[in-house]
């Protein structure tokens, strides 16, 4: 199995922590030159150091840009006009009841979670097809794109949109060595998970421990894993899809959700 990414350059958006950071580290360990992205200069610097620590021989670049708007995406592609691998990982998450979701919430969720990937894919995929004989684009979606969470419908909507966009973009790659796929994580224990759960526990008058336990008895009872995944467990699948070994996988929505979605297709 050829997992070597030497001489390949990978951009992972939203990669200062969580799944994005784990993916950036994994790709660097596979030999790729990696571009780490985030809005905060200090956070990006820390993430670059972590990736470099995981793969001391790798070339790692900092890309401090807010990709939640068109200007940020344009500035990034100007500085890094050419990549072999694009992982559209950037995303926001905002639990809120349907009747409390304002127009501005819908717009922001769409702009950050959907349009960042659209803008970057439009640029990099076109270059992959015109100037290269190989390329990988991966959208990090979610099982929430299929199993829409009632506590944040706008998030589920954005993740569904990613699945559709990835499949549509894949149609442009027919007969080439370029692929576009999406990966669908389930509940993952990222750095912000305790913070989010603490805020939710406060509003519900309960504890973080109680909410963690109820995640797989109430919110996601179909889970076969029955625990939060580690970021590295999700990144393993993303990194495989970015590799040469995944050459026959294209236009697919691949699950790493712990078995939450019961439909096998």
Is a pLDDT exceeding 90 seen at residue 218? Answer: no
Mean pLDDT of the chain: 95
Q: What integer pLDDT is reported at residue 38 of this predicted model?
A: 98
Is a pLDDT exceeding 80 seen at residue 152? Answer: yes
Is a pLDDT exceeding 80 seen at residue 200? Answer: no
Instruction: Answer for the pair 10, 239: CB distance below 8 angstroms, yes or no.
Output: no
Long-range pairs for 113-116: beta carbons < 8 A, 24 or more residues apart: 113/155, 113/158, 113/159, 113/161, 113/162, 114/158, 114/161, 114/162, 114/165, 115/70, 116/13, 116/67, 116/68, 116/73, 116/88, 116/90
- Please name which of 68, 70, 69, 50 lies closest in space to residue 60, comparing C-alpha atoms: 50
pLDDT band at 42; cut points 50, 70, 90: very high
pLDDT digits (tens, 9 = 90+) for 70-126: 999 999 999 999 999 999 999 998 889 999 999 999 999 999 999 999 999 999 999
From the number of C-beta atoms within 10 Å of its C-beta (0-12, 13-18, 19+), residue 78 rates as exposed
pLDDT digits (tens, 9 = 90+) for 130-144: 999 899 999 999 999
Is a pLDDT exceeding 90 seen at residue 129? Answer: yes
Residues forming the active site: 155
| pTM metric for this prediction | 0.95
- Mean local confidence (pLDDT), 25-49: 98
């Amino acid at each position: 199995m050829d997992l070597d990414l030497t001489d390949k350059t990978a951009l992972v958006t939203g990669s200062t922590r969580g799944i994005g950071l784990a993916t950036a580290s994994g790709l660097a360990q596979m030999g790729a030159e990696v571009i780490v992205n985030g809005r905060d200069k200090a956070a990006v610097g820390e993430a670059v150091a972590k990736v470099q620590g995981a793969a001391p021989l790798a070339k790692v670049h900092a890309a401090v840009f807010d990709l939640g708007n068109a200007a940020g995406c344009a500035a990034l592609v100007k500085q890094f006009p050419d990549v072999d691998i694009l992982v559209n990982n950037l995303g926001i998450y905002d639990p809120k009841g349907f009747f409390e979701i304002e127009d501005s919430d819908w717009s922001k969720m769409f702009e950050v979670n959907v349009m960042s990937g659209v803008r970057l894919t439009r640029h990099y995929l076109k270059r992959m097809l015109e100037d290269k004989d190989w390329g990988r684009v991966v959208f990090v979606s979610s099982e929430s794109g299929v199993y829409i969470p009632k506590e944040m419908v706008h998030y589920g909507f954005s993740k569904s949109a990613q699945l559709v966009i990835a499949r549509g973009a894949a149609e442009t790659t027919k007969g080439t060595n370029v692929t576009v796929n999406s990966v669908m994580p389930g509940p993952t224990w990222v750095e912000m998970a305790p913070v989010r759960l603490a805020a939710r526990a406060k509003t519900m008058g309960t504890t973080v421990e109680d909410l963690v336990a109820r995640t797989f008895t109430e919110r996601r009872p179909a889970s076969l894993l029955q625990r939060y995944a580690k970021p590295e467990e999700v990144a393993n699948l993303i990194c495989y899809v970015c590799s040469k070994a995944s050459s026959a996988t294209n236009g697919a929505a691949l699950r790493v959700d712990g078995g939450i979605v019961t439909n096998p297709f």
